[in-house]
Amino acid sequence: MNHNNFSEIDSLPMPITQNALEVARQFADQQRHPQREEQVYLNTLAVLAVRDYLTILSIETDLTQCDSWNPAMRLFADAADLYVKGLGKIECRPMRNMNRNLSANPPEIFPVPLEARTERIGYIAVEIDEEEKEARLLGFSQTADSGELVLRELHSLDDFLVHLEHLFEAKVDLGQWLVNVFTPDWQPFEAVFEPQPESSPRDRIENPVAVKLGNWFNNLFEKGWEKFEQGKQNLEDAIFPDDHPDFAFRSGGSSREESGLSEGQASIQQRFPEADVTRTKLIDLGVRLGRMTFALMVAITQESDRTVRVHVQLHPAIGQRYLPPHTKLSLISDTGKILHESESTVQDLCILLNDFEVEPKESFRIRVAVEDLSLTENFVV
């Protein structure tokens, strides 16, 4: 977008409804300082304008998950966030128009406060003209690391919709796993810990369907997710060494000595007696960690009430015995809240999250982090 050539085509006008004005005034009246009153008023109008825009496009939002709709947060946080269901929060940064001709002289810089520079999937600049009862959506940016949105650098709202579509497609849909549909990056355990020789490559089928755990239960998998076979001693030794027998799904965590099984008899089925499907994915955090590769392991089971129980472990891949100290494995809600986190210490063979249950259509994130490097996987049931 070129600020010098700013035109009606570059932005989208949205009417400011009487209800929006009343809500904004109500929120503003709760503030103790005039500056905060003004900011909350504009934030509320911007959020409602973007909400109305997304509603027209049948994109679901939830104001109850927003800091901008939380009375306590509004007292001290300059947040104009809007939660898009299943994806995360977008920030709707407002600026009051001081010129009656709304399109002639839009503000060039939209400041973004520190608290709004993280846990956002994007930013939309919104120009507020209360006199004309109009909010104009000026453009979109994926990030705001510099602390401001510059009008001439913004992307179009069409780019914003493409961005949302890409985020949705990038989610790992655990429901698909239950019917055996997997995205290419997710593989069966033996493909990671006992890779096939290059001379005999596996037969892989490309499947563009997003990974949904529900498909796992029907034995449908995308390319990259492969079956974890039982009875492979070297594989089990890699994942479940004798000195760490407790990394198991639910009640199946007995050691070989306790069960009376020989090393050759121990199997994944005995380690995960209630898991309907197990899959793993290789994660490479790059050159800075010496090409350290991890295996993210996910086991799921279908409960009687249609919820899905999920078990997550993180292992060093073949060639590494221990995880790097301070490796973090985190369970994060789709609103960005850390629900559970596990951190490795010295000579940890693997770390895991507490088992958790997920409702149908519910989404969550799993993040692997070492130092300032991290990778996040998105899942949905």
Q: What is the pLDDT of residues 234-254, one digit of tens each?
A: 334 444 444 444 444 543 333
Highest-pLDDT range among 132-141, 283-292, 316-325, 365-374: 132-141
Q: How far is 332 from 205, CA to CA, in rounded Å? A: 31
Three-point CA angle 128, 129, 132, nearest 5°: 145
* Start-to-end CA span in the chain (Å): 38
Q: For residues 147-169, give the mean pLDDT.
A: 89
The pLDDT value recorded for residue 216 is: 63
Highest-pLDDT range among 50-59, 101-110, 235-244: 50-59
With CA atoms as reference, report the closest residue to 366 among 180, 199, 205, 211.
Answer: 211
Q: Evaluate if residue 283 carries a pLDDT over 60.
A: yes
**Would you place residue 27 in the very low, low, confident or very high pLDDT band (cuts 50, 70, 90)?**
very high
With CA atoms as reference, report the closest residue to 270 among 258, 281, 282.
Answer: 258
Q: pLDDT over 70 for what percent of the chain?
A: 71
- Could you tell me which residue, 147 or 283, shows the higher pLDDT? 147
The pLDDT value recorded for residue 245 is: 43
The pLDDT value recorded for residue 215 is: 64
The one-character DSSP state at 369 is: E
Q: How far is 41 from 15, CA to CA, in rounded Å? A: 16
Q: Which of 23-27, 35-39, 101-105, 242-246 has the lowest mean pLDDT?
A: 242-246
Three-point CA angle 281, 285, 291, nearest 5°: 100
Q: How far is 39 from 46, CA to CA, in rounded Å? A: 11
Whole-structure pTM value: 0.57
Q: Evaluate if residue 268 carries a pLDDT over 50.
A: no
Q: How far is 317 from 185, CA to CA, in rounded Å? A: 15
The pLDDT value recorded for residue 132 is: 84
Q: How far is 235 from 206, CA to CA, in rounded Å? A: 26
Q: Which of 16-20, 189-193, 325-329 has the lowest mean pLDDT?
A: 189-193
Coil, strand or helix at 62: coil
pLDDT averaged over every residue in the chain? 77
